[in-house]
Amino acid sequence: MLSAPGKLIIDLAAIQGNWRRLSEKLPSATQCGAVVKANAYGLGVAHVAPALAAAGCKTFFVSSLTEGIELRKLISRDAIIYVLHGFELGNESEFYAYQLRPVLFSMALIEQWMKWIEQAEKFVPAAIKVNTGMNRFGVELDEFMQFAAIATQFMQNSTVLILSHLACAEERQNPLNAEQLSQFEQVKALALKVNSKLSFSLANSSGIFLGQNWHYDLVRPGAALYGVNPTPESTNPMSAVVSLNLKVLQVRQLKKGECIGYGHCYQAPKDMPVAIAGGGYADGIARVLSNQTQGFFNAKPVPLIGRVSMDAVAFDLSAVAQQQEQVNFIELIGEHQCVDSLAKNAGTIGYEILTQLGQRYEREYRVSKS
Ligand SMILES: *Cc1c(COP(=O)(O)O)cnc(C)c1O
């Protein structure tokens, strides 16, 4: 693998399988989309999006215009692409050129978009995001009432989708889920009076698992496609997608009482063989993992010891002392340690682990063996 700090394997067949599994959970009238923002959660949109399209996905969500343009070049013109962060004044025509649909999250954006459509005499369908309790983006229900004339005109002519986002969907019992649902129901009732052809979308990955009431016409999973557990309170229903093996650069012997790495923050309680492996915080192995996680060799845990450096980490090989000569890779993410458990050790969530995975690894994309 030449000089890469490790090997990152991304299983495209597993992503496709996860998308199909989610699709199968849905009522037949509900479509399963895919969120591929942030370079498909760090996994490589150029590989992931075409794989999802091949599995049958027709609707994609990205964050920005730049991501939308990149995605449009990767998939066919028929695929629908929504841009979650809407448009900015001056870049409207790019949405038309690349057939991207802006998600409009304020009355001001809606008015600006309407103005542009009228002036340019071009039609690009748009989505409206409404706030039902996340309080991040979105038009408020009472703003719809206040700007009823504009809202009505826009929903009649230019809107195809109304969406909202759940704030606590991964906590099944959180009362906010039902509150957001009931808010969204009100929005839906209001919107349908204006235009009966509108579609609705509420659920992210975890929202899908809250049940059919949350499904509406279109669901928007991201994390679950990439193997992150959408139901953290129970076992992961999704297949693992990512594995990361760090390359061992040196095996050395640490004597009892010796310390290792920056800050000498680990002292050997006994003589031990130690592996120095490639990969560090520059590759997304968070520095807070210093002394806080483990790797695996031959299914045996090998604790990560001392500070995570920019480009290197150390592992205590005591558990595999007999085989220390053969230790050339250490599994950091894989069969024995999933993305979610590594995230837990780092005090974060799987989403952050995935999106931080570095660019220096050798990347292998697995496709289904058919
Ligand atoms: C990121 C995002 C999603 C996907 O969420 P996951 O939890 O990764 O499934 C869905 N909808 C919106 C609006 C988002 O920003």
213 shares a domain with 163 = yes
Catalytic residue among 7, 37, 82, 344: 37
Q: Return the ligand 1 atom nearest residue 221 CA.
A: 9
Q: pTM of the predicted model, to two decimals? A: 0.97
Catalytic residue among 115, 193, 256, 262: 262
Edge-to-edge strands, sheet with 126-129: 34-35, 59-62, 80-83, 101-104, 126-129, 159-163, 199-201
35 C-alpha to ligand 1 centroid (Å):
6
187 shares a domain with 99 = yes
Which of residues 201, 226, 251 is at a domain's end? Answer: 226
User: pLDDT for 229-240, tens place per residue?
Assistant: 999 999 999 999
CATH code of 314's domain:
2.40.37.10
Tally of domains within the chain: 2
All residues at 6 or more sequence positions from 179 whose CB lies less than 8 Å from its CB, including other chains: 132, 133
211 shares a domain with 158 = yes
**37 catalytically annotated:** yes
**Does residue 2 form part of some domain?**
no
CATH code of 49's domain:
3.20.20.10
**Does residue 4 form part of some domain?**
no
**Does residue 15 form part of some domain?**
no
Walk along the chain (370 residues) and give the pLDDT tens digit of each residue: 568 999 999 999 999 999 999 999 999 999 999 999 999 999 999 999 999 999 999 999 999 999 999 999 999 999 999 999 999 999 999 999 999 999 999 999 999 999 999 999 998 999 999 999 999 999 998 898 888 888 899 999 898 999 999 999 999 999 999 999 999 999 999 999 999 999 999 999 999 999 999 999 999 999 999 999 999 999 999 999 999 999 999 999 999 999 999 999 999 999 999 999 999 999 999 999 999 999 999 999 999 999 999 999 999 999 999 999 999 999 999 999 999 999 999 999 999 999 999 999 999 999 976 5
**Does residue 46 form part of some domain?**
yes
* Beta pairing, strands 101-104 & 80-83: parallel
User: 142 phi and psi, to 5 degrees?
Assistant: -75, -20
pLDDT of 145 reads 84
Q: What gap in Å lies between CA 213 and CA 190, rounded to an integer?
A: 18
Query: SS3 for 158?
Result: coil
* Beta pairing, strands 312-316 & 329-333: unpaired
**Does residue 263 form part of some domain?**
yes
Which residue from 67, 177, 220, 229 has its CB within 8 A of the most atoms of ligand 1, so it is best to mutate?
A: 220
Whether 84 is in the pocket of ligand 1, judged by its Cβ within 6 Å, is yes
Whether 221 is in the pocket of ligand 1, judged by its Cβ within 6 Å, is yes
**Does residue 3 form part of some domain?**
no
**Does residue 232 form part of some domain?**
no
163 shares a domain with 57 = yes
Which residue from 31, 57, 134, 165 has its CB within 8 A of the most atoms of ligand 1, so it is best to mutate?
A: 165
Q: Return the ligand 1 atom nearest residue 63 CA.
A: 15
Range of the domain at 212: 33-226
